[in-house]
Amino acid sequence: MKKLIRFGVSLDHHLLDDFDLHIRKRKYTNRSEALRDLIRDNLVGQEWDDDKETVGTITFVYDHHVRDLTRKLTDIQHRYQSLIVSGMHVHLDHDHCLEVLVVKGKGTAIRKVADTLIGTKGVKHGKLAATTTGKGLS
């Protein structure tokens, strides 16, 4: 079992009120767990900043009727196939498709493929969700 260490934190009462509201909205059982998640989130961001091996998802929505768009998106995915672990394609309606790609690699390389896909003319919206392989996090 890992050793737990208790420590005190001094906060402005308004900041603590806002933090407690955040805790209730996110359904945390206590401040400690919420604080641990905030610290982990910061450490994950540092992994991306340090260009370590990371994972994430690239999600984007596009109109498949846009001329040549499907081919362009497929070509981009083939160009970066070493970073793409898996993908899911969903038909949202008659015109729109959603793609979710699971990606793994260096942060800068993943950002490059995300920017390339999301920035392709005809893509209506997209987002990179960066996370971690979990190595080194407690």
Q: Is the pLDDT of residue 48 over 80?
A: no
Q: Residue 45's pLDDT is what?
A: 81
Residues 6+ apart with CB under 8 A from 132: 43, 44, 47, 54, 55
Closest CA to 56 of 36, 84, 88: 84
Q: Residue 1's pLDDT is what?
A: 62
What confidence tens digit (pLDDT) does each residue in 56-83 have? 999 999 999 999 999 999 999 999 999 9
Give the chain's length: 138
Q: Residue 46's pLDDT is what?
A: 81
| d(C-alpha 75, C-alpha 105), whole Å | 19
What confidence tens digit (pLDDT) does each residue in 77-136 have? 999 999 999 999 999 999 999 999 999 999 999 999 999 999 999 999 999 998 888 777
Q: What is the signed CA dihedral for 101, 78, 117, 83, rounded to 10 degrees?
A: 50
8 Å CB contact between 127 and 117:
no
- Mind giving me the DSSP string for 16-40? HHHHHHHHHHTT-SSHHHHHHHHHH
Phi, psi of 2 (to 5 degrees): -75, 145
Closest CA to 89 of 100, 104, 81: 100
Average pLDDT over residues 7-18: 90
| d(C-alpha 59, C-alpha 52), whole Å | 21
Percent of the chain at pLDDT exceeding 90: 70
